[in-house]
Amino acid sequence: MNPIRIIYTPIPQAGFSEQWCTAVEAILDRHELSRLASYKHKTLKHRFLLGRLLIKTEVSRRLHCEPKDVRLAYSANGKPYVRAHPELAISISHCDSWVAVALASENMGIDIESLMRSGEPWNNAARLLNTSVADTLKQVGTFGTTVPAMFGAIWCCMESQVKVKDSSVFSERKLMLPTHFNKGKTYAIECDNNQPFSAAAYTIGDAILAVALKGSFSAEAFANRIVLEENLASVDYDNGKIKREHPNPFLMMTGAKD
């Protein structure tokens, strides 16, 4: 099977220059320019521009065209796809300090979230997710990790599964029902939700990055499908890339067996 490539890059604290923004705007279509104009905060504009730069650059390399010729469309739930090339699966995510995109030849989804989030949502895990997740978080201390890290990993796995299914958080958050929680080389959670799925979460700096697929995989088999690439030069895209092939996940979640 072909690898799933995930490219992630930090968002500079100082943001981007007007010259950089103008250059990236040149690859956007009129719908994307309209969406960009709807963002009032500079930070949101920069996240959007960086995400479109990353995904359009990678798709253009795959299709042997110019980034400005890549046209994206969206499902009713907001899932992006490449217009005229639905066989190429893409996913885009961002948080306060990172943007991540993914490309694959099969349906998949990614999510990236800051590790430390305002409001300490893990204290409301039963309401935000379900009581099974809340019970799982109570076991975290005995396994040597932290509640924020585990909550973030479970949440990202859920969000990435939402993108695979082109669903919504509201409909999926109650379905991730952990039944077993074990620690080996990777934290492992089995879910009783009658859905054959696998999701893995990775620690990326001060964030958690997750990717989900349909079907059940072992942690090792799943890791062998994933190629993470960190790009530290988001302006000069061809420089500063560090490949991290087949990393070990922080957390692996699986649903019903095929």
Give 201-220 pLDDT, tens digit per residue.
Answer: 999 888 999 999 988 887 77
Q: pTM (2 decimals)? A: 0.91
CB 75 within 8 A of CB 110: no
**Residue reference for tokens 């079907």:** 215
Give the dihedral sign, CA 172/174/176/182: positive
**Cα(first)–Cα(last) distance of the chain, in Å?**
18
Residues 258 and 139: their CA atoms lie apart, in Å, by 28
Number of H helices and number of E strands within the chain? 8, 13
- Average model confidence (pLDDT) for the chain? 88
**Residue reference for tokens 């067996």:** 257
Predicted confidence (pLDDT) at residue 106 exceeds the cutoff of 80: yes
Q: Amino acid identity of 42?
A: K
3-state DSSP call for residue 222?
helix
